[in-house]
């Protein structure tokens, strides 16, 4: 079921999302958190870093699994998602680095890496709270629009639309890796709670499919209609207002 929180602006989306992560950690200090990268959650990570710095929350017993990582990419490359997480969150909070996980962007055998990643999530007890963003083409993680979607963590080809959208983080579009390792829909749906953050008018179309109750493999975010506990935190532009 989708619950909706409409916010006035990006700052409010970030604060509300951080409050939900903070409440999850207060209720269960050893929570397993699923994290996303991209522009949308940057404000939420800044709020969480501040909360942690000021002693309101602690990640000392928490464990994290990110949705995805480019492939191939080394973890210390400037545009890797590992680097993004270190800069936006991990280096700014009290988490044990050994408890932070992203798919290995240099795995020799991506299929085995995907299986291993899902096994690690299961061994940690499953994801308690998953934070999601949405691509302008409706992707979640890097589950791109397609006729066939995949259950488990896997290596996938990025669509031209995603390569172009993400080129803003790279020197040029040519430098964007053409593939990525991503949690599959089953991995994401295994999370007990999901918060979906959407800001800006370019997210209005995929959000409209979700809110219309559609189930479209050409708009993977719409499949969240099947999850029992999703909170959409959106600004008015993403709500199409
Ligand atoms: C990132 C991820 C992607 C992004 C999506 C939106 O880990 O899984 O699905 O959430 O591409 O990106 P932004 O927030 O940059 O618009």
Render pLDDT for 146-187 as a digit per residue (tens, 0 to 9): 999 999 999 999 999 999 999 999 999 999 999 999 999 999
Rounded mean pLDDT, 198-227: 98
Q: Is the pTM of this model over 0.75?
A: yes
* Confidence (pLDDT) at 51: 98
**Does 229 qualify as catalytic in the annotation?**
no
Q: Is the pLDDT of residue 1 over 90?
A: no
Whether the CB of 39 sits within 6 Å of ligand 1: yes
- Which of 85, 135, 153 is the best mutation target for the ligand 1 pocket, counting ligand atoms within 8 Å of the beta carbon and taking the most? 135
**Residue 202: pLDDT band with limits 50, 70, 90:** very high
Of the listed 47, 88, 139, 154, which one is catalytic? 139
Rounded mean pLDDT, 189-212: 98
Give the rounded percent of residues in the chain with a pLDDT score beyond 90: 100
Ligand 1 atom at minimal distance to the Cα of residue 141: 8
Cα three-residue angle 192-132-224, rounded to 5 degrees: 60
- Which of 10, 38, 71 is the best mutation target for the ligand 1 pocket, counting ligand atoms within 8 Å of the beta carbon and taking the most? 38
CA–CA distances in Å: residue 143 to residues 17, 77, 87, 156: 22, 23, 25, 8
Q: Of all protein residues, whose CA lies closest to atom 2 belonging to ligand 1?
A: 141
Whether the CB of 62 sits within 6 Å of ligand 1: no
The torsion angles phi and psi of 138, rounded to 5 degrees, stand at 95, 5
What is the distance in A from the centroid of ligand 1 to the CA of 163? 12
What is the distance in A from the centroid of ligand 1 to the CA of 95? 23
Within 10 A of 182 (CB to CB), how many other CB atoms are there?
29
**Does 94 qualify as catalytic in the annotation?**
no
Give residue-wise pLDDT tens across range 31-52. Answer: 999 999 999 999 999 999 999 9
Give residue-wise pLDDT tens across range 97-152. Answer: 999 999 999 999 999 999 999 999 999 999 999 999 999 999 999 999 999 999 99
Residue 25 CA to chain centroid, in angstroms? 18
Give residue-wise pLDDT tens across range 212-224. Answer: 999 999 999 999 9
Of the listed 66, 137, 143, 166, which one is catalytic? 137
- Which of 37, 41, 197, 233 is the best mutation target for the ligand 1 pocket, counting ligand atoms within 8 Å of the beta carbon and taking the most? 37
Whether the CB of 133 sits within 6 Å of ligand 1: yes
What is the distance in A from the centroid of ligand 1 to the CA of 165? 10
Give residue-wise pLDDT tens across range 39-98. Answer: 999 999 999 999 999 999 999 999 999 999 999 999 999 999 999 999 999 999 999 999
């Amino acid at each position: 079921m989708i619950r909706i929180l409409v916010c006035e602006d990006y700052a409010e989306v970030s604060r509300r999302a951080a409050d939900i992560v903070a409440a999850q950690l207060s209720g269960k200090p050893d929570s397993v958190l699923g994290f996303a990268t991209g522009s949308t959650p940057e404000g939420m990570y800044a709020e969480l870093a501040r909360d942690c710095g000021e002693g309101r929350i602690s990640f000392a017993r928490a464990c994290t699994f990110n949705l995805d990582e480019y492939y191939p990419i080394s973890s210390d490359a400037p545009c890797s998602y590992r680097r993004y997480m270190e800069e936006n969150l991990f280096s700014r909070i009290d988490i044990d680095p050994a408890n932070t996980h992203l798919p290995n962007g240099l795995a020799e055998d991506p299929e085995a890496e995907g299986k291993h990643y899902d096994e690690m999530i299961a061994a940690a007890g499953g994801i308690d709270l998953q934070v999601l963003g949405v691509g302008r083409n409706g992707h979640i993680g890097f589950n791109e629009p397609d006729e066939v979607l995949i259950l488990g963590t896997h290596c996938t080809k990025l669509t031209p639309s995603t390569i172009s959208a993400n080129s803003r983080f790279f020197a040029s579009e040519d430098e964007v890796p053409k593939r990525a390792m991503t949690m599959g829909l089953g991995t994401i749906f295994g999370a007990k709670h999901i918060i979906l953050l959407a800001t800006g008018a370019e997210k209005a179309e995929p959000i409209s499919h979700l809110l219309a109750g559609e189930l479209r493999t050409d708009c993977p975010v719409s499949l969240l209609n099947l999850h029992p506990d999703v909170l959409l935190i959106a600004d008015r532009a993403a709500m199409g207002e």
